[in-house]
Structure 1
Amino acid sequence: MDAMTSKGKPSPRSSVRPLSNEQVARLGERHNLVDVTRYYPNGPRMPDAPEIGAQNPRATARLLEGVSIVMRQRSRVKAWGYDRVPTNGPFIVACTHVAMYDVFIPMMSIFHQGRRPRFMAKAEMATWPLIGRWFQLVGMQPVERGSGKALAIESESIRILASGRPLTLWPEGTLTRDPQKWPMSLKPGVGIIALEASRRLGREVPLHCSATWGAASINQWWPWPRRNVVSCFDDRLPYGDLLKDMGAWGDEPPKELVDELVRRVHLRLVALLAEIRGEEPPAEGYWDFRTMTRKPWPQDFDWRIGSSALATETPTDGVIGESGVDPGLNMVDKGAQS
């Protein structure tokens, strides 16, 4: 895995058009958009009480409430698909990274569904005044971005999943450097982590993609009028076909399998972001972080469907699938979690 170092700077906020009310309305016609700044926006569901209790519940509840208030004050957040968050067991979420909001939105949304994923974030965040310590209390796994750190990052991520906990990743490794703010080339870590964790558990670890758009146009010094921000939590992305010979892999997953899974995740993130934005990805190709230039899309890539044929496929291997909520279950009051 390449060193997780920054290169160049993200394009400025002035280069990004705000997400329009008209586009949000179009998304609302196709999806059930809900307010993910509040608990259980899709209706009652059973939270993972042991997981919540193991992750500093009082500190987590306070930070979650604070983040939710800030999000409501500075933006109009809507989302779909977070009712797909599995109710128990490990899973991986691979997120877009257009703005720093893209750290808070999916984490807040998953927390409001009664789960507590660990998340990989740059180590500098742990030193931020006031909130750095809180990040660590609520599940942050600091990432030392630099040469020689990749193996340790992957090993800790695999350990988290093997212990039964979910994990959130931003597989680009840093804010996208694409001038038009599309997902740039991904680090191979997401593929290594998913494949190796699945091998250790003996089953396919659920992998979901999440895309968020709208925050890059927010003026953080004066965020009013509030901008629209839309996020989605996609159907499970299957990769069981890549696990067929996992008993013969040797010390680590083969590079060609890692590359294929990374390709699927990347194309799916692009397709999801295209739907939210209501725009076509650049015809010239995707932004490559190594060369800081565009490279052609795969010949079989159609952004209008991306890997949706894969992402909507029904799992048949008996592992955790889409989260179903029994209408007879009463949701746990958030006060009981603290």
Structure 2
Amino acid sequence: MPRRRIGFWYRFAAVICKPPLVVLLKRDWRGMEHIPAEGGFITVVNHNSHIDPFAYAHFQYNTGRVPRFLAKSGLFRKGFVGAAMRGTGQIPVYRESTDALSAFRAAIDAVERGECVAFYPEGTLTRDPDGWPMTGKTGAARVALQTRCPVIPVAQWGCNEVLPPYAKKPNLFPRKTHRVLAGPPVDLSRFYGKEMTADVLKEATEVIMAAITRQLEEVRGEKAPDTPYDPRRERIEQRRRTQAQRQRRRQAEGQGT
């Protein structure tokens, strides 16, 4: 299936966004040869800064295969931003509603039309203290197994040095380098033909996240933790710690009376 043309809105967005990105960031981009020249596929990318979607879009725009991101539905509603989001073919995500699954249906349709859909499988900025990828959500695996399309793992690093996760002020100087490494397709063939149960999707997601992490290890020249940060597990542990602290306080108060 031939690639979709970039179109007016994407070119217009590039005219606006590329100049400040070129000024703000140096570039060390590798692995563009792994981006398919034709046909539908998905990219799975780590997320460590509020500005990295723009920098990553710049990388992939330069490959000639523009990404369709999944983004909050509120961004599509009004004004210039809404028009740009609709015009560039981004995919709205309706959280906590009866339309929540429509994003995945739209992603499958886009891949089957020969487009690229870019997933941030962590679902949010990483909360890992050292910036490594967290455990992933299963949306990318669901689309990949449904369509059997190529899944390209991409690691990026550098935007987080300009604007760290959850920071309010950027660190512009000295000029930082945006490092990107795209890898060969993730092999998910052993999951093909299986019923997409929660366990199958979880295992396929772990394979995807491991591939992204390996790419980031190469970019950073460091070894990632053996166990990825799990926000759900951390919330459970935090509740246990809070309950234990309350228990100790109650015991101390009882001993003091």
TM over 0.5: yes
Specify the code of the residue in structure 1 equivalent to 2:191.
L
Answering whether residue 233 of structure 2 is matched by residue 291 of structure 1, we say: yes
Larger Rg: 2
Label 1:195 to 1:276 Cα distance change in 2 as closer, same or farther (>3 A): same
Specify the code of the residue in structure 2 equivalent to 1:228.
T
- Counterpart among 146, 157, 174 of residue 124 in structure 2: 174
CA contact (8 A) 2:153 2:183 kept: yes
Tell me the residue number matched to 1:237. Answer: 186
Total equivalences in the alignment = 231
Tell me the residue number matched to 1:94. Answer: 44
User: What is the 5 A alignment of 1:1-338?
Assistant: 51-52=4-5, 57-126=7-76, 130-146=80-96, 148-198=98-148, 205-219=149-163, 221=170, 223-243=172-192, 245-246=193-194, 249=195, 253-283=196-226, 285-292=227-234
SS at match of 2:232: coil
CA contact (8 A) 2:9 2:84 kept: yes
Q: Structure 1: any 5+ residue segments left out of the alignment?
A: 1-47, 199-204, 296-338
Specify the code of the residue in structure 2 equivalent to 1:208.
I
Specify the code of the residue in structure 1 equivalent to 2:172.
P
Specify the code of the residue in structure 2 equivalent to 1:254.
T
SS at match of 1:272: helix
SS at match of 2:140: helix
Name the CA distance, whole Å, in 2 between partners of 1:106 and 1:217. 15
CA contact (8 A) 2:108 2:147 kept: yes
CA contact (8 A) 1:288 1:294 kept: no
Q: Percent identity?
A: 24
Label 1:225 to 1:125 Cα distance change in 2 as closer, same or farther (>3 A): farther
Q: Structure 2: any 5+ residue segments left out of the alignment?
A: 164-168, 238-257
TM-score of the pair, normalised by structure 2: 0.80
TM-score of the pair, normalised by structure 1: 0.62
Superposed CA offset, 1:232-281 (max 9, x none): 111111212221x35xx4xxx23332222101111111121122122222
SS at match of 1:179: coil
Bigger helix fraction: 2
Label 1:242 to 1:97 Cα distance change in 2 as closer, same or farther (>3 A): same
Specify the code of the residue in structure 1 equivalent to 2:4.
E
Deviation at 1:123, TM superposition (A): 2.7
Deviation at 1:294, TM superposition (A): 10
Deviation at 1:59, TM superposition (A): 2.4
